[in-house]
A and B are shown apart, each in its own frame.
Chain A
Amino acid sequence: MLFRLTSLLLLISCMPVFSAHAGTIQQAEFKNGVKLVVEEDHSAPVAMVQVWLKVGGRDELPGKTGLAHVFEHMMFKGSKQLGPGEYSRRISAMGGNDNAFTSTDYTAYFETVPSARVAEVLAMESERFANLKLRDEDFQKEIRVIMEERRMRTEDDPNSRMFEELSAASLRLHPYRNPVIGWMQDLQKLTIGDVKDFYKSHYVPGNAIVVVVGDVDFEQMKKAVAASFGRLKAQPVAPRFNPVEPEPFGPKRIKVVLPAQLPMLAVTIPVPVWQPGENDREVAALTLATHIMAGGRSARLSREIVDQQRLAFAAGAGYDPSAMGLDLWYAYGMLGPDQKPEAFEKALWALIDDMAVNPVGEKRLNAAKRNIIAANVFAQDSLYLRAKEIGQMEVVGLGAANRDNWLQQIDKVQPEDIQKAVARWLKQERSTTGLLQPEVKS
Chain B
Amino acid sequence: MKSRMLALLTCLFMAMPVAQAVPPIQQAGLSNGLTVLLMEAHNVPMVSMNLGLPSGSVFDPKGKGGTAMLLAGMLTDHTAAHDHVSWADLLDQDAIQLGASASKDSLDISLTVLKEVLNPGLDALSEVLLQPGWRAKRFAIMKQDTLAAAQKEREEPGVRAAEAAAELLFGEHPYGHRSEGSMQSLAAIGLDDIKALFAGQVKPKGAVLAVSGDITMDELLPLLEARLAAWQGTPKQTLADIPQPKAVSGLSRDVDMPTTQTMVQLTRLGLARSDAAFFPAFVLNHMLGGGGFGSRLMEEVREKRGLAYGVYSYFSPLAVPGPFLISLQTRADQAVQGEAVVRSVLAEMANGAITRAELKASKENLIGSFAQRMDSNRERVGLISMIGMYGLPLDYLVSWTSRVDAVTLEQVAKQAERFLKPESWSRVRVGAKLQ
Interface set of A (CB-CB < 8 Å, partner B): 20, 22, 41, 43-46, 76, 81, 84-85, 88-90, 92-98, 112-114, 117, 120, 123-124, 127, 140-142, 144-149, 151-152, 155-159, 227, 231, 259-262, 296-298, 303, 306-307, 310, 313-314, 334-337, 339, 363, 366-368, 370-371, 373-375, 377-378, 380-384
- Interface pair B375/A336, CB less than 8 Å apart: no
- Interface pair A303/B8, CB less than 8 Å apart: no
Bitwise, B101-129 to A at CB < 8 A (1) or not (0) is 00000000000101000000000000000
Whether, in the assembled complex, B27 has its beta carbon less than 8 Å from a beta carbon of chain A, the answer is no
- Interface pair B4/A381, CB less than 8 Å apart: no
CA distance A337 to B302 in the complex (A): 39
* Residue in contact with A120 in the complex, picked from B11, B46, B88, CB distance below 8 Å: B11
Whether, in the assembled complex, B368 has its beta carbon less than 8 Å from a beta carbon of chain A, the answer is yes
* Residue in contact with B369 in the complex, picked from A84, A97, A146, A149, CB distance below 8 Å: A97
Whether, in the assembled complex, B1 has its beta carbon less than 8 Å from a beta carbon of chain A, the answer is yes
- Interface pair A95/B329, CB less than 8 Å apart: no
- Interface pair A148/B44, CB less than 8 Å apart: no
Bitwise, B371-393 to A at CB < 8 A (1) or not (0) is 11001111000000000000000
- Interface pair A142/B371, CB less than 8 Å apart: no
Nearest opposing residue in chain A for B99, CB measure: A297
Interface residues on B, range: 35 or more
- Interface pair A384/B375, CB less than 8 Å apart: yes
Of B15, B41, B45, B148, which is in contact with the most chain A CB atoms at under 10 Å from its CB?
B148
Which chain B residues lie closer than 8 Å to A334 at the CB level? 148-149, 152
Name 29 A/B residue pairs within 8 A (Cβ), A-sorted.
A20-B45, A43-B43, A46-B371, A89-B361, A94-B15, A114-B18, A123-B4, A123-B8, A127-B5, A141-B305, A145-B302, A148-B330, A155-B260, A155-B261, A157-B155, A261-B151, A297-B91, A297-B92, A307-B84, A313-B145, A336-B145, A337-B148, A363-B89, A367-B93, A367-B95, A370-B93, A377-B44, A378-B46, A383-B375
- Interface pair B365/A307, CB less than 8 Å apart: no
A290 to chain B, nearest CB (A): 15
Binds A, one of B243-251, B306-314, B340-348: B306-314
* Residue in contact with A96 in the complex, picked from B18, B41, B89, B369, CB distance below 8 Å: B369
Which chain A residues lie closer than 8 Å to B376 at the CB level? 381-382
Which chain A residues lie closer than 8 Å to B144 at the CB level? 313, 336
Assess A314 versus B149: contact at CB under 8 Å? Given A95-B368, A148-B309.
Answer: yes
Bitwise, B283-302 to A at CB < 8 A (1) or not (0) is 00000000111100000001
Which chain A residues lie closer than 8 Å to B112 at the CB level? 378
B300 to chain A, nearest CB (A): 13
Which chain A residues lie closer than 8 Å to B361 at the CB level? 89, 92-93
CA distance A337 to B261 in the complex (A): 27
Whether, in the assembled complex, B238 has its beta carbon less than 8 Å from a beta carbon of chain A, the answer is no
Bitwise, B321-339 to A at CB < 8 A (1) or not (0) is 0000000011100000000
Whether, in the assembled complex, B157 has its beta carbon less than 8 Å from a beta carbon of chain A, the answer is yes
Assess A363 versus B85: contact at CB under 8 Å? Given A88-B293, A90-B12, A152-B329.
Answer: no
Contacts of B72-106 to chain A: CB distance below 8 A? 84-85, 87-89, 91-95, 97
A409 to chain B, nearest CB (A): 18
* Residue in contact with A156 in the complex, picked from B84, B92, B145, B260, CB distance below 8 Å: B260
- Interface pair B12/A120, CB less than 8 Å apart: yes
Nearest opposing residue in chain B for A84, CB measure: B303
A263 to chain B, nearest CB (A): 10
Whether, in the assembled complex, B222 has its beta carbon less than 8 Å from a beta carbon of chain A, the answer is no
- Interface pair B149/A156, CB less than 8 Å apart: no
